[in-house]
Chains A and B, each alone.
Chain A
């Protein structure tokens, strides 16, 4: 009797639990990108997030695929090695197209029946979902928001492929069977009429209401995902990237907002961030844009250097979001997820969210100066290789004519970080390219340090084949600035463990301090450096950790410490191995920096025999609020030996020091700086 009572109370307890149901799978394969299949699958696959996780829901990898995607999809399936897979497809898709290990549950139905079939497979009356959600496939903005909300509430979603009222009727029947409290329609519908027709509780939300409700669920998050639902419909093969954004939004526990045309009301990501923050949401540090530059356009500006020089027809460049043309420091960590189509993006998001790795991949691959035109950049690149090696990272570096098609094919799939530095050669095209292999790539970070490298096909193809992050540029950059940027990016990851977005901001701020230093030293070409600072962008997750593991540096690195208002920068004695290429040489301490600044090396007769790059030291420290928003620096060194930028938003002071501040070149030192708080505002007379 006691046992019966215990069982009864257990059943009662289980009955009272919130919905736990979901497709029982560690992989969900969805054929095509029809909202009825895909968005319903997200809702049905969602489980409660793990304790302590920031996620809004926990989903297994949900991968959209279609004919033509088999090779890349198969590669990912092999890496996931699922034990239980749910296969969702229309009836005419051959079941043996993909090799799927383990148990496979097949949900096969036509588009107008698939939503119900998925819901039947995932939910039972004992799950007691709070609602059945409904949206219309012709209204992607509503359908996306409904999918995310349904997933958060672990409730089924039906996406109407025909008349919305028919789907609502089906939802009402389903709600009754599952004992759900209500039917929630996201989109345009007459709530009163539907309620009277159905005799069940019906609630209608606009997509704006749904987005607000979703953001309320993740209130306090510092992550924002901006998508453009306008890319889900229309002529000229829009890529539908917004449809596959849902698992990323849920896994990050991010706020979701719409940008671009149509439902985005013409807003830019900057508009949305400022609007939401002014309404008390956020603040948002990590911002992910999901969409290509047609859906989420980039700003276009005239070349700042050419304009200053009075060029008649200055070039027009795209620039990344959240950068300031005047050189204000970078203070948000931003990445873009853009892919050729929803299939590539769904695999990419699965790799990011689930950390799917490849076997036999390690270390860093450096290809520098393949066209033998950028010796200065190559010199800096050699110090970057040395920096990585000093931190215990396995590095393979190749230069100039060592870089061949065969070498690229062999080495590219074997490394977690690939640093391509030099002329903008297509890695991925035919004709005169040095093509990347046609086989899958590991989830690596590929840094394409060259001119216009994001304006080409490379990032798309690399992502399609399996890369997890691509960094590059939308404009021309000088090799010295570009290589200096890449070195600063690597330093931020190696010495500070910065995420991809943080490292990008740090490297941008490094070049901005170089701009300030150049101004102080009277160099008129600082706009070229500013252009480089504005040009780099990240395609990838801004929260991605460094792609390679590092150890404590064998030789200690440059370090900074703030005590009160005293900032001490410690310059170690021991440099990295001397880097030489052509007439250039560079000796730099671990964690040190370089740019296109150099001295001439003379022999005993006073003849110039080479060029030695000036050693720079770049440090970042966080300043307390007490320093105000415009602190200044003073030091017992000449003014032209140091420069800084400060971000009030992140409270980060970025300081750059020239080797001329040292007692002598190459010396160890503990350089002292004083941080002067912002002076209080002078009261006005009237």
Chain B
């Protein structure tokens, strides 16, 4: 077992409580941040599920310890669901299943996490002139929400990029960033889908992040959306969505809707990356979840549909 991970073991139906304390060794290439900027928070995720008799399947993303965030302690209470932890595409997932699930249950996940802000020097990344290497395909290919191959997307990007390329500029990151910033009007109720946003010109923050990831993929730059939570928020919505861009061997965070160019605040806890819903579910009639975050006392609770 890695020191960097606290893992769950598969257990049958009975409630599972697993708690392991550990701490990461600080990696050498960690983004620099003074210890004073570190924060330690206790987070609690409650997922309410309702079944209608079908076999239930639920994936809950769990935070992964890395250079910026460390999971110190964690505990999952699956309330009768069978649970298995898997690693998939760099995500850590708790896979919960329950045969013929009926009624309501509340699954809870608690963790104590230490977080630091991240700041990266963002180098220039040229627009790919031709096919990228196959090993990068996973983070370059079009997906359901990142329709990077669509002519609607390509047309928008080519029209915007051509004059800049003609002037000798070739930084794909900057071109894509500027296109989303200037080519779309940020609108709270704008579209979250890239094609509709491109047609209407209005994009919700989530839509803007998807647009950035999509345009980057079209330009041959590996990128992926990230699901996370903002632990510093006292507002109703804690969910956060940003983008990671692969430069060399490093994934650099960016958020075009929040103007975060190669940086991430300490309060952002990453849960999962890739074009996937936060919770993947099947055979579950309804699902709602809430986050509770506490540093010392004053636990704040919010409900999200």
Q: Does B220 contact A (CB under 8 A)?
A: yes
A235 and B151 within 8 A (CB): no
* B151/A338 in contact, CB under 8 A: yes
Q: Is the CB of B195 within 8 A of A235?
A: no
Nearest CB of chain B from residue A476's CB, rounded to whole Å: 14
Contact of B147 among A90, A340, A431, A433 (CB under 8 A): A340
Listed residue (B127, B149, B193, B199) with the most chain A CB atoms within 10 angstroms of its CB: B149
Q: Which residues of A are found within 8 Å of B130, using beta-carbon distances?
A: 233-235
Mask: chain B, 158-197; 1 = CB below 8 Å from A; 0 = not: 1001000100000000000000000000000001110110
The proximity string for A residues 50-92 relative to B, scoring 1 for CB distances below 8 Å and 0 otherwise, is 0000000000000000111000000000000000000000101
Residues of B within 8 A of A66 (CB): 137, 141
Most buried by B among A67, A340, A426, A433: A340
Query: How many angstroms from the CA of A433 to the CA of B131 in the assembled complex?
Result: 33
Per-residue CB contact flags for chain B residues 275-294 toward chain A (1 = under 8 Å, else 0) read 00000000000000000000
Residues B141 and A236 in contact, CB atoms below 8 Å apart: no
Instruction: From B128, B137, B157, B195, name the one whose CB has the most chain A CB atoms within 10 angstroms.
Output: B195
Question: Max chain A CB contacts within 10 Å: which of B145, B148, B192, B196?
Answer: B196
Q: Which residue of A lies closest to B200 (CB)?
A: A431
Q: Which residues of B (234-265) have their CB < 8 Å from a CB of A?
A: none
The residues of B that contact A236 with a CB separation of less than 8 Å are 127, 154, 157-158, 161, 218-220
- Provided the pairs A68-B142, A431-B193, A431-B196 are in contact, do residues A237 and B148 lie with their beta carbons within 8 angstroms? yes
Q: Which residues of A contact B158 (CB under 8 A)?
A: 236, 294
Partner pick for B127 among A235, A239, A340, A426, CB 8 A cutoff = A235
Q: Which of A276-297 contact B (CB under 8 A)?
A: 292-294
Distance A29 CA – B149 CA, assembled complex (angstroms): 22
Q: Per-residue 0/1 for A1-44: is the Cβ within 8 Å of any B Cβ (1 yes, 0 no)?
A: 00000000000000000000000000000001010000000000
Which residues of chain B are within 8 angstroms of A294 by Cβ–Cβ distance?
A: 151, 154-155, 158
- In the complex, how many angstroms separate the beta carbon of B284 from the nearest chain A beta carbon? 17
Q: Give the Cβ gap from A68 to chain B, nearest Cβ, in Å.
A: 5
- Kindly identify which residue among B134, B141, B193 contacts A430, using a CB–CB cutoff of 8 Å: B193
| Shortest Cβ gap from A406 to chain B (Å) | 15
Count, chain A residues at interface, CB 8 A: 29
Q: Does A460 contact B (CB under 8 A)?
A: yes
**A460→B128 CA distance, assembly (Å):** 24
Q: A66-B137, A66-B141, A340-B147 are in contact. Are A235 and B152 (CB under 8 A)?
A: no
Chain B residues with CB below 8 A from A234, complex form: 129-130
Chain A residues within an 8 Å CB radius of B192: 430-431
Chain A residues 151 to 169 lying within 8 A of chain B, measured CB to CB, are: none
User: What is the minimal beta-carbon distance from B126 to any residue of chain A, in angstroms?
Assistant: 9
**How many residues from B make CB contacts under 8 Å with A?**
34
A294–B162 alpha-carbon span in the complex (Å):
14
Instruction: Flag whether A429 is at the interface (Cβ < 8 A).
Output: yes
Question: In whole angstroms, what is the CA distance A341 to B140 when docked?
Answer: 13
Q: Is the CB of A456 within 8 A of B134?
A: no
- Looking at chain A's contact residues, the main secondary structure is loop
Q: Would you list which residues of chain A between 81 and 135 have a CB under 8 Å from chain B?
A: 90, 92
Q: How far is the CA of A455 from the CA of B165 in the complex (A)?
A: 26
- Is A457 among interface residues, defined by CB-CB distance under 8 A? yes
In the assembly, what is the distance between CA of A338 and CA of B154, in Å? Answer: 14
Q: In whole angstroms, how far apart are the Cα atoms of A340 and B217 in the complex?
A: 14
CB distance from B196 to the nearest CB of A (A): 5
Inter-subunit contact B150/A340 (CB<8 Å):
yes
Q: Complex formed: what's the CA distance from A233 to B129 in Å?
A: 8
Chain A residues with CB under 8 Å of B128's CB are: 235
The reply on B22 being an interface residue by CB < 8 A is: no
Q: Is the CB of A67 within 8 A of B137?
A: yes
Q: B173 → chain A, closest Cβ, in Å?
A: 14
Q: Which residue of A lies closest to B219 (CB)?
A: A236
A455 vs B195: C-alpha distance when bound (angstroms): 11
Q: List the B side residues contacting A239 at CB < 8 Å.
A: 149, 151
Closest residue of chain A to B215 (Cβ to Cβ) is A236
A426 with B196: CB separation less than 8 A: yes
Q: Once the chains bind, are B154 and A237 in contact (CB under 8 Å)?
A: yes
The answer to whether residues A460 and B191 also contact, given A67-B137, A236-B158, A341-B142 and a CB cut-off of 8 A, is no
Instruction: Note all chain A residues with C-beta closer than 8 A to B143.
Output: 68
Q: Judging by beta carbons under 8 Å apart, are A235 and B134 in contact?
A: no
B141 A68 Cβ-Cβ under 8 A:
yes
Tell me the minimal C-beta distance from A487 to chain B in angstroms. Answer: 28
Interface code B106-149, partner A: CB below 8 Å = 1, 0 otherwise? 00000000000000000000011111001001100111010111
**Residue on B nearest A438 in the bound complex, by CB:** B144
Contacts of A92 in B (CB 8 A): 134
For the complex with contacts A66-B141, A340-B142, 14 further pairs of A-B residues with Cβ separation under 8 Å are: A67-B137, A68-B142, A68-B143, A235-B128, A235-B129, A235-B219, A236-B158, A236-B161, A237-B148, A237-B219, A237-B220, A456-B199, A457-B147, A460-B150
**Which 10 residue pairs across A and B have the least CB separation, nearest first?**
A292-B151, A340-B149, A457-B195, A68-B141, A430-B193, A235-B127, A237-B218, A341-B149, A429-B193, A431-B191
26 A/B residue pairs, CB under 8 Å, sorted by A: A68-B143, A92-B134, A233-B130, A234-B129, A235-B128, A235-B129, A235-B165, A236-B161, A236-B218, A236-B219, A236-B220, A237-B220, A239-B149, A293-B155, A294-B151, A294-B154, A338-B151, A340-B142, A429-B193, A430-B145, A430-B192, A430-B193, A431-B191, A433-B196, A457-B150, A457-B152
Q: Which residues of B contact A (CB under 8 A)?
A: 127-131, 134, 137-138, 141-143, 145, 147-152, 154-155, 157-158, 161, 165, 191-193, 195-196, 199, 217-220
